Amino acid sequence: MEATVVISGQSTRDDLLNTVADLHARIAAMENNRNSAAMDWSEHQDDECIQARLPDTEFTPYAKFLEALPSMQKDFFRSPLPDMDRRRFLADCPRNLLRNYQPPPVNSVNMGSLSRKFDTQMADVQYRLSGLTRPLDYFLHRALQQVSTPQDDIIDFVNAMHELIMDTASQITQTRIDNLYRGAGMQGQAPRLTRGYWGRCFYH
């Protein structure tokens, strides 16, 4: 019985030492990866607009950049587009026949009304996100047809994508406000996000 106890204790100590050694090796590997990531950004050392902040970098917009992208001055999460404008822009970009824009349906289960409402909201976000691929695909198609893409076309495309992505982010904000309003038991329709009114009583 005593021999068994000694062997078990020795085995436990060996396991502990192996675990410590493994953790030490993992930490060393993480340190090496972090140092490697810093070296990858050495090519930007002469660019005063890009500052290294491990493990990421930071970009400081400058005057010419802000002039080319005026939407940077807008609130990203509270800048919805008029529905007609969004539909008109997407309609100008052809549908990709190889892409499915419809979110997959959820299996028929006995969901409550709140769960069904939430599922509908998430499906709407998915549908909006799928629509953003239309201008991306069309821009790539046009770029492949040209020897070089004019700078003005690139700026217009980036501005359009910023507006569309902000619109989707704003739609999610509106959904959060709706759910908060409903969850608080308030009657009537929740405040609507517009470019002039952001429903600050619910979202600061």
DSSP letter string over 4-67?
A: HHHHHHHHHHHHHHHHHHHHHHHHHHHHHHHHHHHHHTGGGTT-TTEEEETTEEEE---HHHHH
Q: How far apart are CA 128 and CA 90, in angstroms?
A: 10
Residue 116 has pLDDT above 80, yes or no: yes
Beta-bridge partners for 52: 57
Residue 12 has pLDDT above 70, yes or no: no
Q: What is the pLDDT of residue 142?
A: 92
Q: How far apart are CA 96 and CA 92, in angstroms?
A: 12
pTM value > 0.75:
no
Beta-bridge partners for 57: 52
Please write the tens of the pLDDT for every residue from 156-169.
999 999 999 999 99
Residue 107 has pLDDT above 50, yes or no: yes
Please write the tens of the pLDDT for every residue from 44-70.
667 888 777 667 788 899 999 999 999
Residue 138 has pLDDT above 60, yes or no: yes
Q: How far apart are CA 30 and CA 52, in angstroms?
A: 18
Where are the chain's structural domains? 1-60, 61-204
